[in-house]
Amino acid sequence: MDSPTPFTALTWVDQVGKHARSRPTEVALRYDGATTTWATLDERSRRLATALADRGVGSGDRVLVLVTNRPEFVESMLAVHLLHAVAVPVNFRLAAREVAYLAEDSGSRCVIVEESLGGLIAPLREPAPEALPCLVIGEDPTTAGPGAVSYEDALTGAPAYAGNGPSDLGTCCLIMYTSGTTGLPKGAMLSYQNLLGQTMTLIQAWHLFRRDEVGAVTSPMFHIAAIGALVPHLILGLPSVIVPTGSFDAERFLDLVERERVTNAFLVPTQWQMVCASPTIPQRDLPLRILSWGAAPATPAVLRAMAEAFPGVDNVCTFGQTEMSPITTTLPGEDALAKIGSVGKPTALTDVRIVDAEMNDVAVGEVGEIIYRGPQAMIGYWNKPEATEEAFRGGWFHSGDLCKMDEDGFIYVVDRLKDMIISGGENIYSAEVEAVIADHPLVREVALVGAPHERWGETPVAIVVPHRSDSPPTEAELIAFVAQRVASYKKPTRVVVLDELPRNASGKILKTPLRDLVTQETQEVS
């Protein structure tokens, strides 16, 4: 009697192998006009797995991946997971010192790096190059220091690894470092089950039911937004178009959508704003069926522009965070305009409460912290048991987001807990005031932060980016505009005009440097 076939879990590693056997010549990835088939993706990933194993990588080991948007990122993730190891994607915009911290904190045993980013790794490897093996994507591996090896040379000399992915879906597969806007970054440990939950969520949110679906991976691939968009396509056997790293250009993006027949794409609201302003849209043959946005609030003006530019296309808001793999709520297209400002309702797999500081549920319409439970919740923070315990106090993951729920069950994000402004004992939720300011015809973007005040503790300051640099709103004009629409204590006491707002890789506005800016200006004035 034949031995039973070993059980393999539903992971993207095993699914890619299945697709390679059942549809070897079909498209898995498209990048810069080049195609990677499922068979090629599977074979190259397995050769890379052997190359990593030859360099000492085994089950549970961490591998640092410092790569821009390109197919080798996908190959690297698959290869690491074939070995039951853990991928540690790293923000390529970090400084060498910051990369060194992530490598040391994660205890990474090996590095995969792009040639142009080798200088971020070389100082880390310099004391003992052999202790941190390194594969370099590009023609000159010496950019990462002595002993580094060409990625392609390593693949060429390696046989295909024959193993399967882990059988335990609860195994950690990714350490995703949070932005670290306050303090040092924390590594959120995500499991195969976490990303399988994300897959089920995206199937429902993006209607991934047809064989002709084509997804665009637009976010930086080290970010959970990109991995969360990619993994469902790998599991379902749907092609993904990888958008090259670089500054966003609306016309190039529309060219890519038209050329590659992209049906679903995620962009941050400012990018959709640029896309919708394109005069070429009416002349194009665009197969988009789903427009998705998140990471930052979309103003009513942006939502109206999306509806006008893409009539009949579903406009889906997704909300969440890295620790939740990431999506926790969605707002479908049919509710986008009726519930402007809402991030929708909880996904099918997400249990949600909005609570006060003692974890009592707040009343409808009242503000509290949104907390979560569900299969997408991370395992915990890497090597930070106290931070993990604090995040999961009471058995729920505490998001740090202040929200409220309306009588129909729709959730509205009011502020980050750490971004709330308290002026004279009154709570000022920045998102509420920002939405008002964003409606001013001369304002393109806005952020509201608190500045120190001798009498009131702090007062709100508006930092705005005008539509035209030569025609910003005056301070008096903007303050009067807000005062007509909200309570007097919520209006900004000062207006600062900038050319652009600082953002992290996911497109979220970084308020810490803005608070530092207004604090410094306040001190200089006083």
Between CA 338 and CA 296 the distance in angstroms is: 19
Task: Report residue 471 as tokens.
Answer: 């025609």
Cis omega before residue 326 (within 30°)?
A: yes
Predicted confidence pLDDT, tens digits, the chain (526 residues): 344 455 567 899 999 999 999 999 999 999 999 999 999 999 999 999 999 999 999 999 999 999 999 999 999 999 999 999 999 999 898 889 889 999 999 999 999 999 999 999 999 999 999 999 999 999 999 999 999 999 999 999 899 999 999 999 999 999 999 864 446 789 999 999 999 999 999 999 999 999 999 999 999 999 999 999 999 999 999 999 999 998 889 999 999 999 999 999 999 888 898 999 999 999 999 999 999 988 777 777 888 899 999 998 999 999 999 999 999 999 988 888 788 889 999 999 999 999 999 999 999 999 999 999 999 999 999 999 999 999 999 999 999 888 999 999 999 988 777 777 878 767 787 877 888 898 899 999 999 998 888 777 788 999 999 998 888 999 999 999 998 888 788 899 999 999 999 887 667 788 888 888 888 877 666 5
Q: What is the pLDDT, as a whole number, of residue 176?
A: 97
| 187-417 fold | Rossmann fold (3.40.50)
Q: What is the pLDDT, as a whole number, of residue 506?
A: 63
Neighbours of 116 (CB within 10 A): 14
Q: What is the pLDDT, as a whole number, of residue 3?
A: 45
Task: Report residue 372 as tokens.
Answer: 């979560």
Distance from the first to the final alpha carbon of the chain: 87
Q: What is the pLDDT, as a whole number, of residue 181?
A: 42
Q: 84: closest CA among 146, 182, 174?
A: 174
Between CA 307 and CA 272 the distance in angstroms is: 11
Give the E-state strand segments of 268-341 in sequence order.
Answer: 290-293, 314-320, 327-331
Neighbours of 213 (CB within 10 A): 22
Give the E-state strand segments of 211-350 in sequence order.
Answer: 215-217, 240-242, 264-267, 290-293, 314-320, 327-331, 342-346
CATH of domain 420-525: 3.30.300.30
Three-state SS string over 140-207 comes to CHHHHCCCCEEHHHHHHCCCCCCCCCCCCCCCEEEEEECCCCCCCCCEEEEEHHHHHHHHHHHHHHHC
Q: What is the pLDDT, as a whole number, of residue 428?
A: 83
CATH topology identical between 187-417 and 420-525: no
Q: What is the pLDDT, as a whole number, of residue 505?
A: 64
pTM of the full predicted structure? 0.85
Share of the chain residues as helix, strand and coil, in percent rounded to the nearest 5: 35, 25, 40
| 12-167 fold | Rossmann fold (3.40.50)
Name 182's Cβ contacts closer than 8 Å, sequence gap at least 6: 418, 512
277 burial via Cβ count (<10 Å: 0-12, 13-18, 19+)? exposed
Question: Would you kindly state where each structural domain of the chain is located, as residue ranges?
Answer: 12-167, 187-417, 420-525
